[in-house]
């Protein structure tokens, strides 16, 4: 199967079987999303969602967060992985939002990446989820799943994966495709024990077909 047809098959499968694909982080606005995404690095969405209600009650916007001490922020996120670094990043992010963007989260990847604690993956998530921009965020799930299926070829890093995926996914589907791959990786194509027998696309998956061939 040529690559173009493989993407077509994957799109048709997920459109039918996962028509609604959204972030599992709880948020009400772009500010809350960027905070949640920063907190979610190497941490589960479930844990983040347990932490953010009290955080947003104390710091409802960038202005209030920018005035907080790092110790105040740390106290509210100490159950999250790497709370020291994340507290510093959240403080810096809020201060820059206020000083450079009037407290408003920018809607493009380039400006988002100027914020402390916001790398390309986080910027792509915010641009895609909050603003429906055609930005493909590549986390560990997207990187693993796209390589296993064979949607990407010899991608050595997230940026190479991103470039290959956006080449074949239609622009209007990129925000949804990002979640298709994440959720598929989270619940089916798991890192250690992928549930290949339960996977609806195993008939075009290079990982599964190789496994069957070698069994």
- 88 in Cβ contact with 65 (< 8 Å): no
What's the CA dihedral at 111, 113, 118, 124 to 10 degrees? 80
Q: Which of 45, 86, 107, 139 is catalytic?
A: 139
Q: Which two tokens stand for residue 50?
A: 């347990």
> Residue 194 and residue 211: Cα distance in Å, rounded?
12
Catalytic, 28? Answer no
Q: CA-CA distances (angstroms) from residue 204 to 71, 80, 151, 176? A: 51, 38, 10, 20
Q: Which of 78, 121, 190, 198 is catalytic?
A: 121
User: DSSP strand E in 2-131: where?
Assistant: none
Catalytic, 121? Answer yes
Q: Which two tokens stand for residue 185?
A: 């990786």
- 78 in Cβ contact with 60 (< 8 Å): no
Instruction: Residue 176: name the closest of 119, 117, 135 by CA.
Output: 135
> Residue 97 and residue 145: Cα distance in Å, rounded?
34
Residues, the chain: 215
Beta carbons within 10 angstroms of residue 42's beta carbon:
9
What does DSSP assign to residue 200?
Answer: T
Known catalytic residues? 121, 139
């Amino acid at each position: 199967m040529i690559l173009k047809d493989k993407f077509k098959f994957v799109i048709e499968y997920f459109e039918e079987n996962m028509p609604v694909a959204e972030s599992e982080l709880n948020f009400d606005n772009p500010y809350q999303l960027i905070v949640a995404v920063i907190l979610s690095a190497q941490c589960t969405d479930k844990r983040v969602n347990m932490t953010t209600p009290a955080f947003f009650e104390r710091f409802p916007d960038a202005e209030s967060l920018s005035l907080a001490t790092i110790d105040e922020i740390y106290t509210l996120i100490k159950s999250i992985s790497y709370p020291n670094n994340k507290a510093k990043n959240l403080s810096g992010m809020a201060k820059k939002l206020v000083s450079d963007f009037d407290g408003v989260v920018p809607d493009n990847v380039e400006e988002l990446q100027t914020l402390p604690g916001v790398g390309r993956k986080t910027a792509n998530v915010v641009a895609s989820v909050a603003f429906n921009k055609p930005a493909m965020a590549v986390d560990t799930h997207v990187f693993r799943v796209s390589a296993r299926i064979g949607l990407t070829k010899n991608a050595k890093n997230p940026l190479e994966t991103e470039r290959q995926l956006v080449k074949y996914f239609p622009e209007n589907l990129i925000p949804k495709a990002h979640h298709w791959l994440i959720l598929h990786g989270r619940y089916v194509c798991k890192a250690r024990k992928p549930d290949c027998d339960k996977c609806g696309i195993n008939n075009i998956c290079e990982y599964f077909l190789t496994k069957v061939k070698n069994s």
